[in-house]
Amino acid sequence: MPGKERVWLNTLKRCSYMMIGFAIIMVIIGFSALDGNKMNKVDTADKQWKSVLALAERSTDGALRATVKWQGTWNSLLEPSEAAYALASRLGLSTPIENEVQGHRVYNALGSNGGVYSKLSVMPEEGGTSYYVILLMDGDARVNADLFSELQTTYGHSLQDEGVDVNWNAALQGSVVSGLSKELEMVAQSPEYSSASIQKLLNKIEEQTGPELGLHSAEEYVDEESQTISRSYEVGGLPISVQSGDHEIALQMAVHYNEETGGREISIGSPLLTVEY
Q: Which amino acid is at 188?
A: A
pLDDT of 55-102, one tens digit each? 999 888 899 999 999 999 999 999 999 999 999 999 999 999 999 988
CA distances, 19 to each of 84, 87, 183, 264 (Å): 32, 33, 27, 17
Q: What is the pLDDT of residue 170?
A: 96
* Residue 190 pLDDT level (bands cut at 50, 70, 90): low
Q: What is the pLDDT of residue 17?
A: 34
Q: Which of the residue ranges 26-35, 120-129, 246-255 would you say has the lowest mean pLDDT?
A: 26-35
Q: What is the pLDDT of residue 184?
A: 53
| Separation of alpha carbons 116 and 61, rounded Å | 20
| Separation of alpha carbons 155 and 149, rounded Å | 10
Q: Between 185 and 73, name the one with better pLDDT.
A: 73
The torsion angles phi and psi of 202, rounded to 5 degrees, stand at -65, -40
Domain contains 38: yes
Q: What is the pLDDT of residue 163?
A: 95
Centre a 10 Å sphere on the Cβ of residue 219 and count the other Cβ atoms it contains.
15
Are 135 and 152 in contact by the 8 Å Cβ rule? The answer is: no
Q: What is the pLDDT of residue 238?
A: 93
| Separation of alpha carbons 216 and 125, rounded Å | 38
Q: What is the pLDDT of residue 264?
A: 83
| Separation of alpha carbons 87 and 93, rounded Å | 9
Domain contains 179: yes
Task: Quickly list H helices, 69-210.
Answer: 80-91, 141-161, 182-189, 195-209
Q: Which amino acid is at 123?
A: M
Are 153 and 44 in contact by the 8 Å Cβ rule? The answer is: no
Q: Which amino acid is at 157?
A: H
Domain contains 276: no
Q: What is the pLDDT of residue 30?
A: 41
Give the number of residues written for the chain: 277
CA distances, 11 to each of 65, 74, 136 (Å): 10, 31, 17
Q: Between 7 and 194, name the one with better pLDDT.
A: 194
Q: Using a pLDDT cut of 90, give the percent of the chain over it.
A: 55
Q: How many domains does the chain have?
A: 1
| Separation of alpha carbons 173 and 151, rounded Å | 20
Domain contains 185: yes
Task: Quickly list H helices, the chain.
Answer: 2-12, 17-29, 41-59, 80-91, 141-161, 182-189, 195-209
Q: Under the phi-then-psi rule, with left for phi > 0, alpha for psi from -120 to 50, and beta for the rest, what region is 227?
A: left
Domain contains 275: no
Domain contains 72: yes
pLDDT of 3-44, one tens digit each? 444 434 344 344 333 333 333 333 333 444 444 433 489 999
| Separation of alpha carbons 268 and 277, rounded Å | 13
- Print the domain residue range for 15: 2-270
Q: What is the pLDDT of residue 214?
A: 86
